[in-house]
Structure 1
Amino acid sequence: MKYRIPIIRNASDFVYFLIISVLLPIVLLFDVIVVLPEIHEPDSFPYDFTIIMALLIYFNIHGNMIACMIIATSVKFETVREPSAADAERLEWRHCKTCDRFAPPRSWHCRYCGVCILKRDHHCGFMGCCIGHHNHRYFVCFVFYLFVGAIYALVYNTLYIVVFTDGVANCWKNALVVRFPAHIPSCSFWVNVQIIIFGLNIFTLICASMALIQQVSIVLRGAVSAECGRHPKYNCGIYHNLRSVFGVRMHLAWICPLIESRLPSDGYSWKCISNKDLK
């Protein structure tokens, strides 16, 4: 596995990266410092357990995010041996007009990254890089832990607002009865902060849910986003499909981004199901 220096070339990607890099720590600190002591007695087992879980989830979110950004997943034209023009079509290598080289199967050129990506799934704006063969595992885990963290936070934030904070709950009721969000400015600054964090929590959960559903669907089918709607040529069974993303230690790879799990494929050649099975 090779690494790269993460350089965000697109201005919009940089904005998205700042949003997730700044807002996640703010929400974590708010929940740990403000919300949690209201629900659990400090130094009690539920309090300590929730703190540990929050830190583990946060570590996995940012750890997998960093892994996606620093792991190189582009085609290494300088080291790979390209097939001849006569063999390229048979081996399903395509000519990339931008790179003016033959690119391996399932690789696509990214106009943001400026390179061909092995088994390219998509370009992620929040990370400023492409999700491909070598970092797909980390992106799926990133989305999964973002989903888990959003649910965890939403449960505690809902309890805090509904049960322990009458001011926020009343402000929400009044805002819904009157004209939302025109009523929000009449609430105090602290109440508005809590409302905004609660709204961000819901928005994050919706986005993470949609991304997780989409990723689970394509991973189980052994596909990438660009192959959706096509014949399942690379769908060799759930076990093989999961192994091709999470590696030979797939039963452990999802627990922590620091766990090494070698991928069975080099990203240049792929196991396919027979043409007979496609019919």
Structure 2
Amino acid sequence: MRLRRKFFPRALRDIGCCLMMIIFVPITFVFELTVVLPEFHATNGTIYWLTCLFGIFLLFNLKANMLACMLVDTSARTVVLMPPTNERQRHYWRYCSVCEMLAPPRSWHCNICDTCILKRDHHCGFTGSCIGHQNHRYFVFFVLYLAIGATYAAIYNSIYFWWLHSEIYVNWFTAVKIVFPMFMLCLDVSWQNFYLLIYMLNIITSAYSIVLIAYHAPFIIRGGKDCERDAKRYDLGLRRNLEMVLGKRMHLTWISPFIQSELPHDGIHWENVIDETEKRR
């Protein structure tokens, strides 16, 4: 596994999304531990500290998997490409005029990353990198822990705002702030408005990450990837499809991105997988 030398986001949109994740997630974590949780649990109690430990676990995996997505190089230039000698299998390969090389099946050129990506799924704006064969696992857990953390916090925050402090936030003025958050924050710079902004971003993050999971999960389960017309030719069954993304030790990968889990495929010779699935039909 090779690391990218230039892993900082290049596109302006990627820079904005990446900075939002880098800044917003730790601020939300501190907000939950110092403002919200003490309203529910005694700070010297067992539940409070267990919740804190759970939050630290979520924050670590979210940030570490995000960083792994950015660092792991999954481009075709990091490997030695040996096209098959068989003419029938060779026709699955294509010539990339930008990279000036024969690219393997399922790889596509990314204009932002300026290279062909092995088993390219999509370009992720939040990490500023393409998601492909080598870093797909980290993207899965990045989105998964983002959804768990954001939803978990949203439940606490909803009770905090609309029940425990309903006398402050349940009014028509709060509705205006929700519709025009930045405008109202500029007019009235207060902690209450800042807390409300965190809550709104939290709800958006929860909803967006759940949508991402719902969108990508069927592709992974069926052995496909985003924008792939004929994913059936790569469908090896549920277990092997998951191993293609999470690796051979997929039952442990949820614990930490630092746990090694070797992938069962090199990400290059997908023509062999096509032959295998065609024989099973």
Please indicate, yes or no, whether the TM-score normalized by the shorter chain is above 0.5. Answer: yes
Deviation at 1:91, TM superposition (A): 5.2
1:104–1:269 Cα contact (<8 Å) kept:
yes
Where 1:248 maps in the other structure, the secondary structure is: coil
Aligned position for 2:170: 170
Asked whether the equivalents of residues 119 and 133 of structure 1 are also in contact (C-alpha less than 8 Å), the reply is yes
Aligned counterpart, 2:101: 101
Unpaired runs of 5+ residues, structure 1, are: none
RMSD, aligned α-carbons: 2.4
Alignment partner, residue 13 of structure 2:
12
- Structure 1 match to 2:134: 134
Query: For the residues of structure 2 that align with 1:113 and 1:162, how far apart are their CA atoms?
Result: 44
Partner of residue 263, structure 1: 263
- Extract unaligned runs of 5+ from structure 2: none
Give the aligned partner of residue 81 of structure 1: 82
Hey, what's the Cα distance between the residues in 2 that align with 1:179 and 1:35?
20
1:14-93 equivalences under 5 Å are 14-76=15-77, 79-83=80-84, 87=87, 90=90, 92-93=92-93
Q: CA deviation at 1:76?
A: 2.7
Post-superposition offset of 1:266: 0.6
Aligned length: 274
Per the TM alignment, residue 235 of structure 1 is displaced from its structure 2 partner at its CA by 0.8
Q: Which amino acid aligns with 1:170?
A: V
Shift of 1:160: 1.2
CA contact (8 A) 1:246 1:254 kept: no
2: CA distance between counterparts of 1:27 and 1:231? 39
Aligned to 1:220: 221
User: Cα distance, 1:161 vs. partner?
Assistant: 1.1
Secondary structure of the 1:253 match is coil
Deviates more, 1:55-64 or 1:6-15: 6-15
Q: What SS does the aligned partner of 1:250 have? A: coil
TM-score of the two chains, using structure 2 as the length reference: 0.89
Superposition deviation, residue 163 in structure 1 = 2.8
How far apart, in 2, do the equivalents of 1:115 and 1:182 lie? 40
CA distance in 2, matches of 1:260, 1:100: 33
Distance 1:231 1:153, change over 3 A: closer
Counterpart AA for 2:13: S
Q: Deviations over 1:254-277 (max 9, x none)?
A: 221111100000111132354476
Name the counterpart of 1:122. 122
Aligned position for 2:149: 149
Name 2:243's counterpart in structure 1: 243
1:145-195 residue CA offsets vs partner (Å, 9 max, x unmatched):
000001110111112112322344324x5544x896479948772221122
- TM-score using structure 1 length: 0.90
Rounded Cα–Cα distance in structure 2 between residues aligned with 1:223 and 1:69: 22
Q: Percent identity over the alignment?
A: 38
Contact 2:3–2:71 (8 Å) recurs in 1: yes
Q: Which amino acid aligns with 1:249?
A: R
Runs of 4+ more than 6 Å apart: none
> Are the counterparts in 2 of residues 13 and 128 from structure 1 also a CA contact under 8 Å?
yes
